[in-house]
Amino acid sequence: MGKAKRAGRRFYIGVDIGGTKIQSLLVDAAGVVVQRARTSTPQGEDPEPVLAAAEELVEKLAAEQQIAVSEVSAIGAAVAGVVDPKEGLVVVTPNMSLTGVALGPRWEKRFQRPVAVGNDTNLGILGERWLGAARKAQSAFGIFVGTGIGGGLVIRNRMWRGAREATAEIGHIVMEINGPMCGCGNRGCLEALASRTAIEEQLRQAIQQGRPSVLPELTGGDLTRIRSGVLRQALAAGDGLVQEVLRKAAEVLGYACLTVRHLVDPEVIILGGGVIEACGYFMVPIVKKIVEADRLPGARPGGEILVSVLGDDAVALGAAALAARKVGRNPLKKRFALLPKYPKLRLADNHQIAVQKESYRQDFYILANGKTKNRKQEFLADENASGCRLTADEMEKLAEGGPEVVFVGAGFSDQFEVTPEAQEYLSLRAIRLEVLPTPEAVQAFNQYKKRKAALFHLA
């Protein structure tokens, strides 16, 4: 990414300190990701390597944009566990080594900037409320499935944290009495049954008992950590064991969502985290089927199951939003809700579109961050009917960054197809789709005043 333009532009840093990875983002006040950096989370009982790795990422973000950390308005840190936001204290982290660390004071002293600290999944749903699938919801409950399972609850524009800063700890509701031991010390927790850690353990045990699987081949024989991407590869290979274990995990998640629906009755339930990112296409339909079979009616529709729009960025963007709140600029409030800078389009002669000073003769995108890019050649191949199909894989790239609507300029010949899978991808994320002839799409894009993205087909 290029050097950040600083004139009149505020920047925040959001850091997601997870059990497997640390992800950090430098974002502006409109939520545009200017720079990103990530690294693996050091393992062990000593917190210093984890803190040092996170601090190095903060400095790296600023350095790569040729700015000083002192030039950002504030820093937000998300930690997997119970935190005390007022003190900036990590109270307990079941899957990491940061228990008892006064993270906020440490970073304020080191970076000389205001620092806000929060629970990672609280901040994940805050990110989704700001820029993602919950952007229009008055109440949203997030369930994030990764190394562990965390939850978060946003009502209107506020995170609901609870009397003990431990609300929405969905990973630690008991789903099986006397079930497997959980990292929190209790038995039968949702996290002990359906997190990636639990899924790994179930798979390892089954393979040790002689069950066939492609996982030893995909991991080079090292099953100590089976990452979410490897689970996706195994699903694609038709691995029966992985399908069985993930189906069971999805069923448990489905009943957990049913519990949330009955207990909290949120407008939407957002599923996210690395396991859902990688394997959601297999797991989410199972979850939805269980919730939709609920026989207890409500007075109105609600409790819809949606999927995170922001993916791996959700928690770090929520941390950036928390940082903005720390300095009195809550991005969920209208007065501070900014939009990226979008270009004005003009339909030129010979089926061209002028974008600012540049003319496009071939298909191109405008992303949610306002950036313009040529459509990738892989989606223009002959086997794709000369680029006249928009698939789910391409839609995933087009919808990055949380647009409220995706415009598709379907060309001038009315032969463009948006596949049902691509439409379902948007539906699961509460993103509207507008497919129009390209001249009409240009006009609609220019007139729309909220977050947006577009694909313009020029054939």
Instruction: State the CATH number of the domain containing residue 387.
Output: 3.40.1230.10
Asked if 457 contacts 438 with a C-beta cutoff of 8 angstroms, the reply is yes
Q: Is residue 59 part of a domain?
A: yes
Are both 183 and 322 inside the same structural domain?
no
Asked if 299 contacts 163 with a C-beta cutoff of 8 angstroms, the reply is no
Q: Is residue 97 part of a domain?
A: yes
- Model confidence pLDDT, tens digit, residues 435-449: 999 999 999 999 999
Are both 161 and 270 inside the same structural domain?
yes
Give me the number of domains the chain comprises: 3
- Model confidence pLDDT, tens digit, residues 106-119: 999 999 999 999 99
Whether 208 shows a pLDDT value over 70: the answer reads: yes
User: For residue 382, what pLDDT band results from cuts at 50, 70 and 90?
Assistant: very low
Are both 279 and 352 inside the same structural domain?
no
- Model confidence pLDDT, tens digit, residues 157-177: 788 877 777 778 899 999 999
Q: Is residue 5 part of a domain?
A: no
Are both 180 and 292 inside the same structural domain?
yes
Q: Is residue 1 part of a domain?
A: no
Q: Is residue 6 part of a domain?
A: no
Asked if 276 contacts 284 with a C-beta cutoff of 8 angstroms, the reply is yes
Q: What is the arithmetic mean of pLDDT over 271-287?
A: 95
Are both 33 and 69 inside the same structural domain?
yes
Are both 351 and 409 inside the same structural domain?
yes
Q: Is residue 256 part of a domain?
A: yes
User: For residue 6, what pLDDT band results from cuts at 50, 70 and 90?
Assistant: low
Q: What does R_g of the chain's alpha carbons equal in angstroms?
A: 22
- Model confidence pLDDT, tens digit, residues 407-427: 999 988 777 899 999 999 999
Q: Cβ of 365: how many Cβ atoms within 10 Å?
A: 18
Query: 226 versus 385: which is more confidently predicted?
Result: 226
- State the average pLDDT for the chain: 91
Q: What is the arithmetic mean of pLDDT over 254-277?
A: 94
Q: Is residue 3 part of a domain?
A: no
What's the CA gap between 99 and 54, in Å, rounded?
A: 16
What's the CA gap between 253 and 146, in Å, rounded?
A: 13
Are both 269 and 400 inside the same structural domain?
no
Query: 246 versus 146: which is more confidently predicted?
Result: 246
Are both 18 and 105 inside the same structural domain?
yes
Whether 228 shows a pLDDT value over 60: the answer reads: yes
Are both 138 and 285 inside the same structural domain?
yes
Asked if 235 contacts 283 with a C-beta cutoff of 8 angstroms, the reply is no
- DSSP conformational letter for 139: E
User: For residue 4, what pLDDT band results from cuts at 50, 70 and 90?
Assistant: low
CATH number reported for the structural domain that contains residue 300 in this entry:
3.30.420.40
Q: Where are the alpha helices (DSSP H) in 118-224?
A: 120-131, 190-194, 196-208, 215-218
Give the range of the structural domain holding residue 450, as residue numbers without chain letter. Answer: 345-456
Are both 138 and 109 inside the same structural domain?
no
Whether 384 shows a pLDDT value over 60: the answer reads: no
Q: What is the pLDDT of residue 5?
A: 57
Are both 159 and 113 inside the same structural domain?
no
Q: What is the arithmetic mean of pLDDT over 6-14?
A: 81
Q: Is residue 4 part of a domain?
A: no
Looking at 255, 289, 308, the residue that finishes a domain is 308
For strands 11-17 and 74-79, give the pairing: parallel
Query: 52 versus 2: which is more confidently predicted?
Result: 52
Are both 166 and 294 inside the same structural domain?
yes
